[in-house]
Amino acid sequence: MQEKSQHAAVKKFSQIKAHILDRIESGEWDVNQKIPSENELAAQFQVSRMTARRAVQELTEQDVLIRTQGLGTFVADTKTQSSLLEIKNIADEINDRGHMHSSTQVALSTIDAIPPVAIALGVEEYSPVFHSILIHHQNNVPIQLEERFVNPGIAPQYIDQDFNDITPHEYLSRVAPLTEAKHSVEAIQSNKQQSDWLNIDMKQPCLQLLRRTWSNQGVVSFARLIYPGSRYKLGGHLTFHTSQKIKMKG
Amino acid sequence: MQEKSQHAAVKKFSQIKAHILDRIESGEWDVNQKIPSENELAAQFQVSRMTARRAVQELTEQDVLIRTQGLGTFVADTKTQSSLLEIKNIADEINDRGHMHSSTQVALSTIDAIPPVAIALGVEEYSPVFHSILIHHQNNVPIQLEERFVNPGIAPQYIDQDFNDITPHEYLSRVAPLTEAKHSVEAIQSNKQQSDWLNIDMKQPCLQLLRRTWSNQGVVSFARLIYPGSRYKLGGHLTFHTSQKIKMKG
DNA sequence: CAAATCAGCTTGTATATACAATTGACTGTG
DNA sequence: CACAGTCAATTGTATATACAAGCTGATTTG
């Protein structure tokens, strides 16, 4: 069965990025500590210097590292973080961390909108809406259960898609560019069905993120995203929030 | 020292970036319009493809351009959105909702910093730090368990306060104005002690929010905030920010 | 001793090349 | 006409190489 799809293979430079991030997040490499040079990384990972350089370069652009010509590369101070949690889509988040994202479509159908769904979507109660369920994996481990209700008036072709090829978020962004989104986060206990899909024990604590998205035509979709508490933290990583930074010369 | 002409001092890839930005800002290249391919730019500027690529690549990372493999490079829409969750302190949040906030001090002492706490606070392992535990209520119902570790070097009088009168957050804001904060959110199961304090059944799903706060003197405190899943949702708040102007250096 | 120089490391810029992956258009076949 | 296959263009990944430029520490020189 070919239900599974890999939206991206893990590139060499991504592996090196992930390795560097791991060392930093584990505390093995402290702030201001010098990290291996491009040549050392290249030798260690059996890649060319240019490939190692790319990994280091991209992390530098994200303010994770600081480089000085002639001196070396150092772990950046983490101070420039905001008190805002950035909610990104799961595929980008996984890829940004240098891991492999894949997803499995579990269901895709038209259902009658029960009142809470109808209210969230702004449609008539018991009118038909699209309903999809996907499981997202990081390195083949389930990390998010995505249940989504979609307004058929705004994305009428949603039902004809194959979400093994493209994520619902990606598809919806394409057909109805987002103008607004609202989130809420809470802790819940997984039920039997959810535990099965996420491959965790029953009644484990999970993060539940509810998201409503708008385009200029109205509410596009209402999604319930469930993450196993043991495998996911929201905002535990650097929120590089392209701020206009003052650069100081030391 | 050999003199160099100013023209040679400007990097080639920078010249190409400037050229592309000029075309976009002058309106010559409209939004969504296809721009010359890497090979065309390389030929036009008499550089290698990799150099032209670098210019286009950097602008893509700044959301000025959008690239699609096999298709080409296009001028991006000037608006990008990201949704951010705002984390507020519990007392303000409860008051903002028009409810009554109260808190109970459970513990306040000096302890030796075990390694994870020491790392979070940026102090020596097993050096003394302040430790407080409070329960916050909304309309007399427990809604947050606050466990906090405080850097004594920055708030030496923390240990002498009575946190039935003032919240730790309020006190710390007063003595060491916060400059930065970092959060992570996850789902956990409450243990016996936590369940008792929050007056909930054991092993209920809870939101755990970890917060590190900085002042300009360093890490002020590290807090673990636990909310019963049944009583609290982290509020969704949306922010749009238009892309900032890209300034070229050099 | 103090200053200048040099050697050796680092990152920065640039080139040339190869092949993979994706898209869209073209083309031949039934 | 419909469809499948092919092909060209384009971006994506990766390598190998060369030299420039900046920093540090050791060496040489005045």
Residues B145-173 pLDDT 10s: 999 999 998 888 899 888 887 888 888 87
Residue A172 inside a domain? The answer is yes
Asked if residue B42 and residue B109 are part of one domain, the reply reads no
Q: Which pLDDT score is estimated for B204?
A: 81
Q: What is the ipTM of this complex?
A: 0.56
Selection from B145, B113, B116, B105 nearest residue B130 by Cα? B113
Asked if residue A9 and residue A102 are part of one domain, the reply reads no
Asked if residue B141 and residue B64 are part of one domain, the reply reads no
Q: What percent of chain A has pLDDT over 90?
A: 26
Asked if residue A127 and residue A39 are part of one domain, the reply reads no
A227: closest CA of chain B, how far (Å): 9
Summarised one tens digit per residue, pLDDT across range A219-240 is 889 999 999 888 887 754 322 2
Residue A84 inside a domain? The answer is no
Domain end call among B33, B50, B75:
B75
- Given a cut of 80, whether residue A249 has pLDDT beyond it is no
Asked if residue A11 and residue A124 are part of one domain, the reply reads no
How far is residue A220 from each of residues A136, A238, B77, B82, B241, measured CA to CA in Å? 21, 29, 20, 16, 21
Asked if residue A221 and residue A184 are part of one domain, the reply reads yes
**Cβ-defined contact of A229 to B84 (cutoff 8 Å):** no
Asked if residue A109 and residue A166 are part of one domain, the reply reads yes
Structure tokens at B30: 């409209």
Is B86 within 8 Å of chain A by CB?
Answer: yes
The stretch A13-27 carries a mean pLDDT of: 88
Asked if residue A184 and residue A61 are part of one domain, the reply reads no
Average pLDDT over all residues of chain A? 79
- Given a cut of 60, whether residue A111 has pLDDT beyond it is yes
Residue B100 inside a domain? The answer is yes
pLDDT band at B81 (very low <50, low <70, confident <90, very high): very low
The stretch B40-67 carries a mean pLDDT of: 91
Residue A246 inside a domain? The answer is no
Question: How many angstroms is C1' of D20 away from CA of A232?
Answer: 45
Domains identified in chain A, total number: 2
SS3 B41: helix
Hey, how many other C-beta atoms are within 10 angstroms of the C-beta on A68? Answer: 9
pLDDT band at B236 (very low <50, low <70, confident <90, very high): very low
Residue B248 inside a domain? The answer is no
Is B246 within 8 Å of chain A by CB?
Answer: no
Asked if residue A114 and residue A15 are part of one domain, the reply reads no
Asked if residue A193 and residue A157 are part of one domain, the reply reads yes
Asked if residue B124 and residue B214 are part of one domain, the reply reads yes
CATH code of the domain containing B36: 1.10.10.10
Cβ-based burial of B14 (10 A; exposed 0-12, middle 13-18, buried ≥19): middle
Q: What percent of chain B has pLDDT over 70?
A: 80
CB-CB contact of B123 with B155 (8 Å) = no
Domain end call among B29, B44, B75:
B75
CATH code of the domain containing B158: 3.40.1410.10
Give the structural domain span for A13. Answer: 2-75
Asked if residue B138 and residue B113 are part of one domain, the reply reads yes
The beta-carbon neighbor of B185 closest among A177, A204, A233 is A233
Residue A80 inside a domain? The answer is no
Cβ neighbours for B75, distance < 8 A, ≥ 6 positions apart? B24, B29, B30, B31, B32, B33, B35, B64, B65, B66
Hey, how many other C-beta atoms are within 10 angstroms of the C-beta on B108? Answer: 19
Summarised one tens digit per residue, pLDDT across range A38-76 is 999 999 999 999 999 999 999 988 778 889 888 999 988
Is A11 within 8 Å of chain B by CB?
Answer: no
